[in-house]
Amino acid sequence: NAGVMQNPRHLVRRRGQEARLRCSPMKGHSHVYWYRQLPEEGLKFMVYLQKENIIDESGMPKERFSAEFPKEGPSILRIQQVVRGDSAAYFCASSPRGLAGADSYEQYFGPGTRLTVT
Amino acid sequence: SQQGEEDPQALSIQEGENATMNCSYKTSINNLQWYRQNSGRGLVHLILIRSNEREKHSGRLRVTLDTSKKSSSLLITASRAADTASYFCATVRSEKLVFGKGTKLTVNP
C-alpha cells in the first residue's frame, strides 16, 4: 500500500512563473490537506479538500493560490505568478475520513515538495 | 496564532538519555497528536492521545496529557542517534491540524 505521493520533490521557478504541485493520497483516502512549512517553522494549514470539493480554504492566500481534487487524478496545488516569499516546503496529507470527533484519525503525510523561487 | 507551542525549541542530549518535550495549547481538544519530522522529510505520525486519556505508551515513547493545564509531554526513553529530528504536537481545530513550531532534538552518539 503506497503512501502519500507528491511530485515533484523539488521545484525551481523564476518569479512570475506558475508552480503546480501534485499529491496522490493513499489508496482509499478521500480527504486531502495541504500545508506549507517555512524554514525552522511548523506546518501551517492551507486547504482541505474532499473529492471535487473544497471544504476549508481558510489558510490559503486569496490571490494566486488555488487547489483542486478532481474525481480522477491527484490533488493539485497551483501557485500563479510566484514570488520569493512562496519559497517553502509544501506538504500534502490524506486521511480516510475527516478529523472531527474523539476517534478522529491521524493524517498521513507525503514527503513534500520543496519550492524555490529565484 | 499557533494552537500548539512546544518547548524547548531545541534540545541536545547524549545517546541513552531520556528526552522530554512539552506542548501547550489554547482551546479544548478531542485529541492531541505528536509527529516527527526528519530533516528534509515529511511528517510521521507517532502517537495520538484522546482527551479522556492521561497517559499513553508506544515503544520508547510515553505521552501524557493534562487537559486542566492544556498541556502534553512527549518522553523518549533511552534515546538513539536515529531519534534526531524535529517533533511537533498538533491539535484538531475545525477539521484541520494545527501545529506548533516544534522541538528540534539532537541525540549525540
**Span B44-99, pLDDT tens digits:** 989 999 999 999 999 999 999 999 999 999 999 999 999 999 999 998 877 788 88
Q: Which three cell numbers stand for residue A100?
A: 472531527
Q: Which of B35, B42, B101 sits opposite A41 (nearest CB)?
A: B101
pLDDT at B2: 39
Using a CB–CB cutoff of 8 Å, tell me whether B25 touches chain A. no
Using a CB–CB cutoff of 8 Å, tell me whether A96 touches chain B. no
- Rounded to a whole number of angstroms, the distance from the CA of A92 to the nearest CA of chain B is 9
- Chain B residues lying within 8 Å of A35, measured CB to CB: 97, 99
Using a CB–CB cutoff of 8 Å, tell me whether B92 touches chain A. yes
Q: Is residue B86 within a helix (H) or strand (E), and if so which, with residue range?
A: strand B85-93
What average pLDDT is seen over chain A? Answer: 91
Using a CB–CB cutoff of 8 Å, tell me whether B52 touches chain A. yes
pLDDT at B96: 81
pLDDT at A42: 83
Q: Which of B4, B41, B98 sits opposite A45 (nearest CB)?
A: B98
Q: What is the pLDDT along chain A (118 residues), one digit of tens a residue?
A: 579 999 999 999 999 999 999 999 999 898 999 999 988 788 999 999 998 899 999 999 999 999 999 988 999 999 999 999 999 999 999 988 776 654 556 788 999 999 999 9
Longest dimension (CA), chain A: 44
B18-57 burial by CB neighbour count: b if 16+ within 10 A, else e? ebebbbbbeeebebbbbbbbeeeebbebbbbbeeeeeeee
pLDDT at B13: 96
- Chain B residues lying within 8 Å of A56, measured CB to CB: 94-96
Cα–Cα distance measured from residue A78 to residue A18, given in angstroms and rounded to the nearest whole number: 7
- Whether residue B3 has pLDDT greater than 80: no
Using a CB–CB cutoff of 8 Å, tell me whether A43 touches chain B. yes
DSSP B75: E
pLDDT at A85: 94
pLDDT at B28: 87
Taking CA–CA distances from A94, the nearest residue in chain B reads: B96
Interchain pair A45, B96: CB under 8 A = yes
Interchain pair B30, A101: CB under 8 A = yes
Interchain pair B97, A107: CB under 8 A = yes
Interchain pair B51, A102: CB under 8 A = yes
